[in-house]
Amino acid sequence: MRVEPPPCEWQLPDPWRADLGQDLVGFGADLAPGTVLQSYRMGLFPMHIDTGQLGWWSPDPRGILRLADLRVSRSLRKSTGQFEVTFDRDFNRVMRECGDSRRDGVWITEEFIAAYSTLHDMGWAHSIEVWSSDELVGGLYGIEVGGVFAGESMFYRRRDASKVALVALVDLLRTQGDERFIDVQWRTKHLASLGAVAISRGEYLTALATALLIEPCFTN
């Protein structure tokens, strides 16, 4: 059951008014549940910058993965049968693995873990876990608003484990229709190899407005 948090108390930056090609569009506010949820509904997401300030980002271009575009190689499809996949079994642990200081995830601070764990408890943030026996070897987490799953981060400790989490997420979302999509923020080479594309901020915001009319897939 999703619980709607108290409304955002801040005036967040309007990404429609941001300069073309500018990814960082504002500063300040907080990570209260209502603030974070409102940001995703507006096409923003939070991440601290080097000065320690809380930044609000709306990349231009924006990376997305359309569900029908996911590329699953033969070897990856084989890997999917070698692991167990669960949903929302251990959200906090997945976040902590993604934020391990040995990885490029140092922006996932205790403040972020607390904020997103609260949103998980309220039914908005979700995790996909990949297991080998009883060992957590990969996973990802993100926020679902309407028909958009905003992927925040992923990790792996076994080859292909994070990709297996992504395949499982896409398979789950596709049970409710291909009109949904995954927001990957930036189109990296790795994500491009899996089918992610880059679209303009305006295209993203237009697609988001339509997707917000769709009922979320996760039911908790």
| Statement to judge: residues 79 and 162 lie in one domain | yes
Q: How far is CA 71 from CA 3, 27, 105, 168, 189, in A?
A: 34, 36, 25, 13, 13
How much is the pLDDT for 103? 58
Tens-digit pLDDT profile for residues 16-74: 999 999 999 999 999 999 999 999 999 999 999 988 899 999 999 999 999 999 999 99
In sequence order, which ranges of 50-188 are alpha helices (DSSP H)? 74-80, 91-98, 110-121, 161-174
Write phi, then psi, for 75 (nearest 5 degrees).
-70, -35
Domain assignment of residue 40, yes or no: yes
Instruction: Give the integer Cα–Cα distance in Å for 146 and 30.
Output: 23
| Statement to judge: residues 178 and 95 lie in one domain | yes
Kindly state the DSSP code that residue 7 receives in the 8-state scheme: P
Domain assignment of residue 1, yes or no: no
Q: What is the CATH number of the domain that holds 148?
A: 3.40.630.70
Domain span at residue 140 reads: 63-211
